[in-house]
Structure 1
């Protein structure tokens, strides 16, 4: 079994309040969960109105498949119309169960 995680930082320039930010975060998380069948959550920068830190987790049988899925998520976020992609970090490891 291979477990991978992706941590992504986004900038929401148009956000003026935490409510504005939450709407964008909810939209992004719902789209990514539905499109890629991954677990996702906002994990940091909760009180910053413009900065978003999201994490995604994927599980599979092959390292390449997990890395590919996480890379596709990063690519989708790079072209998001509202949130500007600032960077990401991918971690993929295997665990025998």
Structure 2
């Protein structure tokens, strides 16, 4: 079994309040969950209205499959027009 997980840090340019940030983060989380069927949540920068950290995790049978899916998630995040990816960390672990 291979577990892949990562954190993507976004800059939210048009958010002027935490309420606007929640709306954008909810949309990003929902889009990633629906498109890739992975676990996704906001994991950091909770009180900063122009930053968001989204964490994700997935499990698979092979390392190349998990790695490919994580790359696709990162590419998808880069294509989102509501936020700019400024950093990302991804790791895999074989259990």
Give the TM-score normalised by the residue count of structure 2: 0.98
Match of 1:57 in 2: 57
SS of the aligned residue for 2:20 comes to helix
Displacement after TM superposition at 1:13 (Å):
0.5
Displacement after TM superposition at 1:92 (Å):
0.2
Post-superposition CA distance 1:6-63 (Å, at most 9, x none): 1100000100000100001000001100110100000010000000001000100001
Counterpart-to-counterpart distance in 2, 1:50 and 1:76: 20
Match of 1:75 in 2: 75
Match of 2:39 in 1: 39
Match of 2:23 in 1: 23
Match of 1:7 in 2: 7
Q: CA RMSD in A?
A: 0.6
Counterpart-to-counterpart distance in 2, 1:81 and 1:58: 24
Give the TM-score normalised by the residue count of structure 1: 0.96
Displacement after TM superposition at 1:79 (Å):
1.5
Q: Which runs of 5+ in 2 are unaligned?
A: none
Equivalenced residue count is: 95
Displacement after TM superposition at 1:87 (Å):
1.5
Q: Which runs of 5+ in 1 are unaligned?
A: none
